[in-house]
Amino acid sequence: MTNTLFDGLFSHTDPKRQLAKLEDGRYYSYQDAVDVSGRFANTLTTMKVQPGDRVAVQIPKSIEAIMLYLACVRIGAVFLPLNTAYTPAEVSYFLNDAEPSLFICDPANRKALEETASDAGVRLETLGVWKNHEISAGTMADSGLEAPTEFETVPRQPDDLAAILYTSGTTGRSKGAMLTHDNLLSNSKALADLWRFTKEDVLLHALPIFHTHGLFVATNVTLLSGASMIFQNTFDVDKIIDALPQSTALMGVPTFYTRLLDDTRFNRDLVSHMRLFVSGSAPLLAETHVEFEARTGHRILERYGMTETNMNTSNPYEGDRIAGTVGHPLPGVSLRVCCAETGVEMPQGEIGVLEVKGPNVFPGYWRMPEKTSEEFRDDGFFITGDLGLVDGKGYVHIVGRGKDLIISGGYNIYPKEIELVLDEHESVKESAVIGVPHHDFGEGVVAAIVLAENAAADETGLKSFVESRLARFKHPKRYVELAELPRNTMGKVQKNVLREKFADSFS
């Protein structure tokens, strides 16, 4: 009996090979990964975590956090990572919705989260960044260090759940995307193969590990290929520049590439050891693609994915990587372009909503059968909400979004969630939140506010109101006061009018 994901990821592995070089100078071999994930698996078992239980984590990036993910997979639990920027108010929703049997947070946040966990009836443990095994990195680390390394990995079938990742929605209520062992394994296999990953690769890992991109695409592809990583806990241009000469591949959001291009040290010589730069999670501007090639001689490989579907398309490894496109559907993935209203397939070359089907596509949202059936067609295609077309050469172009979504530095921000918070404030009559071009994050959040009758403008008060409720990356970077919101004859707020009016906010 096998554990689909764990056995799949570790099938080609030579235990002596290096898995990761860490910021604190430590090295992790593949054997260390088996041992430490085994220790955590024993610890979780002692804590009575059962197969199928959710384990929610909101912990700083570290290799041990990856080991905890692997431990969850090995005991058959469902890993539920949360953005480290979420406030206790946001975390509370996830704990109540997912009902995990354990919540692991940063030791530094224990006090702030104790009440949240106890209100949700969830056991709280901690895991921080390891400091050379000397300083306690939290209760999980303390217990983990004492636990045995041997652990008999629990069998799991391809359709069993491996993870739940929450994604916000247009209604402002987050949905837990359930991901199976096979969703994750099949996608890693497709990517490792398409992008020619081998044991010789050294991936420069600087993405957060609470999202699909850093956790599944970057980490699973490395593990599956028996490759190694230079594992950096944050994205820092200086550290990236130091590590590039020892690396062969980098995966990033477009902000990584624009920030690197802003640095004159980033040039052809620096990247002479590199073979691959991958971009995704947000649109890469064609001008970034062109400037990157002129500076380095490399063409960035852009791909397209979603939390619910893992990766759907990729530009080719060999062959033309075309700026402004996200390439072809991955092997095994079917993609079609349909009319958003009727669901009828559009003629080739015309714009419609992108729909996908394949082993990469999730089975549904956690405890939301209606939402799930709304977003799937009867024949099993998932409606992405992204608008696009397929050109004559089979390249997919994303031309917009049917969903009211802002993507800022690779993070999804749903305007509705911010509007709901702003509208709660006593000085606000109504609000409309939009995304406009931002030089660093691609899109930046602007909040247009109509004040309540007799209320005085109080931006500072409004900002601190938002602060306690929403993660920092969601905070509007500009507030504007309007006498009224522009509306069409049906009374719907014309966000396009606002986007045009405030287009130059961050240029």
Question: Does 177 help bind ligand MLC (rule: CB under 6 A)?
Answer: no
- The whole-angstrom separation of Cα 29 and Cα 20 is 7
What does 472 interact with, of ligand MLC, ligand AMP, none (CB < 5 to 8 A by kind)?
ligand MLC
* Binding to ligand AMP, residues 99-158 (CB under 6 A): none
The DSSP line for 246-282 is G-SEEEE-HHHHHHHHTSTT-STTTTTT--EEEE-SS
Q: Which range, of 43-51, 115-123, 397-405, 472-480, touches ligand MLC by CB under 6 A?
A: 472-480
- The whole-angstrom separation of Cα 153 and Cα 147 is 15
Q: Which residue from 107, 226, 280, 388 is in contact with ligand MLC, where contact means CB under 6 A? A: 280
Question: Does 304 help bind ligand AMP (rule: CB under 6 A)?
Answer: yes
231 vs 62, 132, 374, 434, CA distance in Å?
8, 15, 39, 35
CB 230 within 8 A of CB 243: yes
Q: What x-and-dash track marks residues 440-459 binding ligand MLC by CB under 6 A?
A: -x------------------
What type of residue is 15?
P
- The whole-angstrom separation of Cα 424 and Cα 421 is 5
Q: Going by DSSP bridges, is the β-strand pair 175-180/310-314 parallel, antiparallel, or unpaired?
A: unpaired
Q: Which residue from 22, 117, 141, 207 is in contact with ligand MLC, where contact means CB under 6 A? A: 207
What does 315 interact with, of ligand AMP, ligand MLC, none (CB < 5 to 8 A by kind)?
none
Local structure of 88: helix, strand or coil: helix
Question: Does 327 help bind ligand AMP (rule: CB under 6 A)?
Answer: no
Question: Does 305 help bind ligand AMP (rule: CB under 6 A)?
Answer: yes
Question: Does 164 help bind ligand MLC (rule: CB under 6 A)?
Answer: no
Q: Which residue from 37, 42, 220, 281 is in contact with ligand MLC, where contact means CB under 6 A? A: 281
Q: What x-and-dash track marks residues 118-147 binding ligand MLC by CB under 6 A?
A: ------------------------------
Q: Is 302 exposed, middle or buried (0-12, 13-18, 19+ CB in 10 A)?
A: buried
* Binding to ligand AMP, residues 268-287 (CB under 6 A): 280-283
Nearer to ligand AMP by Cβ, of 208 and 226: the residue is 208
Question: Does 502 help bind ligand MLC (rule: CB under 6 A)?
Answer: no
CB 87 within 8 A of CB 466: no
Q: How many other C-beta atoms can be found within 10 angstroms of the C-beta atom of residue 453?
A: 5
CB 55 within 8 A of CB 43: no
Local structure of 389: helix, strand or coil: strand
CB 268 within 8 A of CB 240: no
- The whole-angstrom separation of Cα 494 and Cα 210 is 34
* Binding to ligand AMP, residues 398-427 (CB under 6 A): 398, 401, 407, 412
Question: Does 352 help bind ligand MLC (rule: CB under 6 A)?
Answer: no
Q: Which residue number has the CB closest to ligand AMP?
A: 307
Q: Which residues bind ligand MLC (CB under 6 A)?
A: 207-208, 211-214, 235, 253, 255, 280-281, 305-307, 408-411, 441, 472-473, 475
- Name the residues that contact ligand AMP, by CB under 6 A: 167, 212, 280-283, 302, 304-307, 326, 384, 386, 398, 401, 407, 412
